[in-house]
Amino acid sequence: MPEGKIIKALSGFYYVLHHDQLIQCRGRGVFRKNKVTPLVGDDVVFQAENELDGYILEVKERKNELVRPPVANIDQAILVFSAVEPDFSTVLLDRFLVLVEFNQIIPIICISKMDLTNQEQEKQILNYADQYKEAGYEVILTSSETETGIEQLQPHLENKISVFAGQSGVGKSSLLNVLRPDLDLKTNDISTHLGRGRHTTRHVELIWVGNGLVADTPGFSSLDFNEIEAEQLTNCFPEIQRASENCKFRGCLHVSEPKCGVKEKVESGEIPDYRYEHYLNFLQEIKDRKPRY
């Protein structure tokens, strides 16, 4: 049986890329029975009724998946956050980073709209960029208008499946239009009344950008930590994970335990206060979560 990759899902149809051909497939009823939903990015076994239509018979094992947006087998997440309009938010970025790290997806932080910053704002963004680099993240400063940072971003997309994610209105579609001008993806200005962008992307689709596949997604509609346990949160903050090796007690949650390697790094300024504060807030959120049965 032929195998391929789902690159688009729309109205109950799955568009499977097989060599250079796109086959429009439906899912077999057995998927509903087994509560398996094929996702964009899935590697599948299918049966072709003819050259253009077929049925998906099997979904191969996934290395990861996101629920919202529904994408599987992602190599990396390009987290697009604007420097201004809307203002750069470390707490929102850290929520994205935790979810991406938990799903074992490599994050790349892309700070957009650098052309709109004044001198003071630029200085602050550069400071944040240095701190996130120090934590261990790749950070790229970009502008769709001046094409700043595009050359730096392009090589990261080669031979990878990437998901572009971030809050609405930060310029994800604008960046993709610069990376591949023929896309002409729809973009909307910020709604000044709401202070945020209007959703312009309607479905998830993998598109070719250079030699890589990119998902332009409708954005994360859920940023909760329902799947993450308290003891797993440390692993979602690389600099906290490294510092935790010096904690006296195994299973230290870095809150009030004595001889905590993480708190020592916070006090010395090696871990920024806001990163530690976000860790504590997220930890409390996980602890306060209603138990699942």
Does 235 fall in a domain? yes
Does 223 fall in a domain? no
- At residue 20 the predicted structure's pLDDT band, cuts being 50, 70 and 90, is confident
- Residue 195: CB atoms within 10 A of its CB come to 11
What are 147's two structure tokens? 């094409």
Residue 176 has pLDDT above 50, yes or no: yes
Q: Give the CATH number for residue 34.
A: 2.40.50.140
Same domain? 188 vs 171:
yes
Distance CA 227, CA 289 (A): 11
Q: Which positions ≥6 away from 109 have C-beta within 8 Å?
A: 79, 81, 93, 97, 129, 132, 137, 138, 139, 140
Q: Which residues constitute the domain of residue 261?
A: 230-287
- At residue 195 the predicted structure's pLDDT band, cuts being 50, 70 and 90, is very low
Least confident range of 5-9, 63-67, 68-72, 201-205:
201-205
pLDDT tens-digit readout, 25-42: 998 776 766 778 899 999
Does 222 fall in a domain? no
**Residue 85 identity (one-letter amino acid):** E
Same domain? 53 vs 71:
no
- At residue 199 the predicted structure's pLDDT band, cuts being 50, 70 and 90, is very low
Q: Give the CATH number for residue 257.
A: 1.10.40.50
Nearest of 146, 156, 177, 176 to residue 164 by alpha carbon? 176
Least confident range of 82-86, 127-131, 145-149, 174-178:
174-178
Same domain? 48 vs 118:
no
**Residue 113 identity (one-letter amino acid):** K
Q: Is the pTM of this model over 0.85?
A: yes
Does 225 fall in a domain? no
Higher pLDDT, 250 or 198: 250
SS3 string, 48-99, reads ECCCCEEEEEEECCCCCEECCCCEECCCEEEEEEECCCCCCCHHHHHHHHHH
- At residue 200 the predicted structure's pLDDT band, cuts being 50, 70 and 90, is very low
- At residue 12 the predicted structure's pLDDT band, cuts being 50, 70 and 90, is confident
What are 170's two structure tokens? 């930060």
Same domain? 247 vs 177:
no
Per-residue pLDDT, 220: 60
Same domain? 192 vs 269:
no
Average confidence (pLDDT) over 166-177:
87
pLDDT tens-digit readout, 77-112: 999 999 999 999 999 999 999 999 998 999 999 999
Same domain? 19 vs 128:
no
Classify the phi-psi angles of 31: left when phi > 0, otherwise alpha if psi is within -120 to 50, otherwise beta: alpha
| Average pLDDT in the chain | 88
Classify the phi-psi angles of 233: left when phi > 0, otherwise alpha if psi is within -120 to 50, otherwise beta: alpha
Please say which residue of 154, 184, 216 terminates a domain.
216
Same domain? 155 vs 177:
yes
Distance CA 222, CA 68 (A): 6
Same domain? 73 vs 200:
yes
**Residue 184 identity (one-letter amino acid):** D
Residue 251 has pLDDT above 60, yes or no: yes
Same domain? 191 vs 78:
yes
Same domain? 280 vs 209:
no
Residue 144 has pLDDT above 80, yes or no: yes
Distance CA 246, CA 12 (A): 51
Does 224 fall in a domain? no
CA dihedral over 177, 178, 180, 182, signed as positive or negative: positive
Same domain? 75 vs 188:
yes
| Count of structural domains within the chain | 3
- At residue 289 the predicted structure's pLDDT band, cuts being 50, 70 and 90, is confident
Nearest of 234, 225, 233 to residue 289 by alpha carbon? 225
Q: How far is CA 198 from CA 85, 104, 131, 279, in A?
A: 13, 29, 30, 30
- E strand residue ranges, the chain: 3-10, 13-18, 21-27, 43-48, 53-59, 65-66, 71-72, 76-82, 106-112, 138-141, 161-165, 190-191, 196-197, 205-209, 212-216
Higher pLDDT, 74 or 193: 74
Does 221 fall in a domain? no
Does 275 fall in a domain? yes
- At residue 136 the predicted structure's pLDDT band, cuts being 50, 70 and 90, is very high
Please say which residue of 162, 183, 216 terminates a domain.
216
Distance CA 173, CA 199 (A): 11
Does 142 fall in a domain? yes
Cα–chain-centroid distance for residue 28? 30
Q: Give the CATH number for residue 92.
A: 3.40.50.300
User: Are 231 and 244 contacting, i.e. CB atoms less than 8 angstroms apart?
Assistant: no
The pairing of beta strand 76-82 with beta strand 161-165: parallel
Same domain? 55 vs 107:
no
Distance CA 183, CA 201 (A): 13
Please say which residue of 189, 216, 243 terminates a domain.
216
